[in-house]
Structure 1
Amino acid sequence: MPFARLASVTTPTSHIGLGLAAVGRPGYINLGREHDLGDDRTVEALRARTHELLDAAYAQGVRYFDVARSYGRSEEFLAGWLSARPDIADVVVGSKWGYTYTAGWSTEAAQHEVKDHSLATYERQRAETDALLGDRLDLYQIHSVTPDSPALTDKELHGRLAEAAASGLTVGFSTSGPAQADAIRAALEVTVDGEPLFRTVQSTYNALETSAGPALAEAHDAGLTVIVKEGMANGRLAAPHAPDVLKAVAEETSLGCDAVALALVLCRPWAGVVLSGAATVTQLASNLHAAVVDLDDDQLTRLATLVEDPRAYWERRGGLPWH
C-alpha cells in the first residue's frame, strides 16, 4: 500500500494530510471563506494559494495530499505543483471519483456538483484523473458512499476497480451522511474473487459527529487505512465559531481550537491520516500543532459533551451555504 511511505516519515505531522477541497474551487461550504479567501478567487489566484499551501505543508512534514474530481481544479493544481518538483517522490496522492463539478467556477451556481456512482462515470473520471496525475496517483476513492449507493452492489464496477488494484492503484471509498457506519460495514463486505476490494476508508469524524467511530475501528482492524475528513466540522470547530467547551480546553493547552479539535481525532487508535482543510498558510500552521497536543482524561470527557445526534449534524451541514 502506498501509505507505507508515511511510516518512513519521522516528523510529528506525518499523519496529518492536506485536503484541497477549500482551495480548489471558488465556492465551498466552510465557514469563514469570505475572510480566508477574500474577493480574488480567479483560477490563477487559487492556483497560487494552493501551491503556497502545498509548499508549506511539505516543508512541515505533511506527506498525504487529498483531491477529488469535484473539487474544481484541485487535481490540476496538485499536478502542476508535483510537475514543478520532480525530485519529490515521498508523497502519497489520493483522489476521488463519483461527483462531477458543475459550478463553472462560480459561487452562485444553482448546483455545484452532481453525484453518480455508475461505471460510466468511473471510466470517464478515471481517464480525466489519469490525464492530470498519471502515475503520481496512489489512491482512488469512491466519493461519498452511502448505504444505498450502487457502487456497493455493481459487480462490473467492482471488477474494474479490482483491475485497477491489480495494476498497483490502491482502491478506497469515502462516506458521508448520518448512516456512515452502515456504509462502512457494507463496503467491508465487498469482495472480488474472495478478496476484500477496498483498502482505505475516508469518513467524517469530529468532536460533533462521532457516529462512524465504531465502524472505523472495525475497518482498521480489518486492515484498512482510515483517513478522517472534516475534523473541523466545516469550520464549526474553529474560532470564532467553536463551542465554549472547546475554547476552554484550547486555552488550557495554549493552542488554537483547531489544533485541539484535530488532536481529538489524532488520538483515536484507528485514525491513520487526519486531514487539514486549511485555506491559508496561517491556518495550516495552527492545524499542524495538533500533532503535539496531549489531551488528558478530563479534557476528553468534557469534549465528549459536544457530540450531536448524527441526523441533526448532517441536516445542519446540508444547510451550510456555498460561498
Structure 2
Amino acid sequence: MPFALPQARGSARPGGTPACHVGLGLAAVGRPGYITLRRDRDLPADRTVDALRARTHELLDAAYAQGVRYVDAARSYGRSEEFLADWLRARPDADDVVVGSKWGYTYTADWRTDAEKHEVKDHGLAAYERQRAETDALLGDRLDLYQIHSVTPDSPALTDRKLHAELAEAAARGVTVGFSTSGPAQADAVRAALAVTVDGAPLFRTVQSTYNALETSAGPALAEAHDAGLTVIVKEGVANGRLAGPGAPQALRDVARETGLGCDAVALALVLRRPWAGVVLSGAATVAQLASNLQAAAVDLDDERVARLDALAEDPHAYWAQRARLPWH
C-alpha cells in the first residue's frame, strides 16, 4: 500500500486534474545555518532558538491554513522536531497533519553558522536506535513516517539485515518506513533500496529524492518506485534557491514572466506535472515564500514551456559538485 496523505484543500492543477500534495520541509528554519541561497535575507538577523521557533510556528500556521498536511523534519535539522512537536501540542485541531522525520545524520553545529561540520552521517544500527529514541521523545505517536536520511548506493543501511529487522518491527507497530537519497547516483540508490525485503516483503514504502529542473537524473528510478507502490516525495524542487529569485536561469525567468508567477512556483509546477510525484516539498523560510511556492498548482505549463524548462537539466555530477560548494550561512 502506498503511503497515504489526507486530501489537501485547494490542490488542483489547471483543468481540474488532481495535484500531488505540497508539503512543508523544515530544513531551512530548524537551525541557524543552511545552504539555501539568499538565506541571510530570509531569517531574522538574530537567529536565536526562540526566533527560529517563532518562524517555524508562523510557517506551520500559514501552511496549515492553506491546506498543507505533510510536514518533513529530520534529526539533523537542528531543533526542527522540537519546534514541530511544540506546534502540534499547541494546535490540537491539526490532528490531520502527517508527520515525517529522518534519521542518519546527527546535528553537530551547536547552533552556530560557522561550524566546521554541521552534521555527521551514520547509517549504523546504533545510530538508528539512538536517534529513534530521540525522535520518539519529541514526537511520540505523532510520527507517521521515519526515513533513512540520504541513502547512497554504498550505504550500509541497504545491507544491514539487523537494521532491516528493526525497521520492519517499527513498520509493524504502525510507522511507515522510507528513505531519502542524495548525490549523483540517486537512481542507483533508489533501485538498490527497492530490492530490500524482509521476509519476502518490500521494506520501504516511501522514497524522498532531489528532483528539479536542473537535476532530473533520478526521474526514471522514481517512476519505477511509484510503479512499485511507493509514495515519491520530492525535495529541493527549487535547487536550494538556484531556481528562485533573480539568479534563476533565463529560460525559467522567461516562463515565469509569461505566466505572471514566480520562478519558484514555475520550478515546482514542473515537478507537480510528473505523474510519479506524490508529495513535493516547499522549503520556504518565510510566509511570503510559502505563498509563492503554493501558487505552483496554478501555473499553466504547456508542452512548449515544459520543453524549454526540460532543456535546463545539468549533468548530475556537475549539479552535485555545485551544490557541495554552496556555503552554510
Q: TM-score range by the shorter chain?
A: over 0.9
Gaps of 5+ in 1: none
Q: In 1, Cα distance between the equivalents of 2:43 and 2:97?
A: 26
Match of 2:116 in 1: 110
Match of 2:100 in 1: 94
Q: Is the 8 A contact 1:75 1:129 kept in 2?
A: yes
Deviation by residue 1:278-310 (Cα, 9 ceiling, x = unmatched): 000000000000011120011001011110000
Moved over 4 A (4+): none
Alignment partner of 1:188 is 2:194: yes
Match of 2:277 in 1: 271
Deviation by residue 1:17-36 (Cα, 9 ceiling, x = unmatched): 00000000000000001111
SS at match of 1:22: coil
Q: In 2, Cα distance between the equivalents of 1:2 and 1:318?
A: 32
Letter of the 1:55 counterpart: D
Match of 1:142 in 2: 148
Q: In 2, Cα distance between the equivalents of 1:2 and 1:176?
A: 22
Shift of 1:3: 4.2
Letter of the 1:5 counterpart: L
Match of 2:126 in 1: 120
Alignment partner of 1:28 is 2:27: no
Alignment partner of 1:204 is 2:203: no
Match of 2:158 in 1: 152
Match of 1:5 in 2: 5
Name the % identity: 80
Q: In 1, Cα distance between the equivalents of 2:62 and 2:255?
A: 27
Match of 2:225 in 1: 219
SS at match of 1:125: helix
Alignment partner of 1:312 is 2:318: yes
Q: In 2, Cα distance between the equivalents of 1:143 and 1:294?
A: 33
SS at match of 2:217: coil
Shift of 1:154: 0.1
Q: Is the 8 A contact 2:57 2:87 kept in 1?
A: yes
Match of 2:167 in 1: 161
TM-score by length of 2: 0.96
Q: Is the 8 A contact 1:37 1:279 kept in 2?
A: yes
Q: In 2, Cα distance between the equivalents of 1:284 and 1:87?
A: 21
Please give the residue correspondences for 1:44-59 in structure 2 after superposition, counting only pairs within 5 Å: 44-59=50-65
TM-score by length of 1: 0.98
Shift of 1:86: 1.6
Deviation by residue 1:28-47 (Cα, 9 ceiling, x = unmatched): 00000111114110000000
Shift of 1:2: 8.6
Deviation by residue 1:244-292 (Cα, 9 ceiling, x = unmatched): 1000000111000000000000110000000000000000000000011
Q: 1:302 aligns with which of 279, 290, 308?
A: 308
Gaps of 5+ in 2: 13-19
Q: CA RMSD in A?
A: 1.1
Q: In 2, Cα distance between the equivalents of 1:283 and 1:67?
A: 18
Q: In 1, Cα distance between the equivalents of 2:305 and 2:37?
A: 25
Q: In 1, Cα distance between the equivalents of 2:220 and 2:2?
A: 25
Q: In 2, Cα distance between the equivalents of 1:9 and 1:303?
A: 27
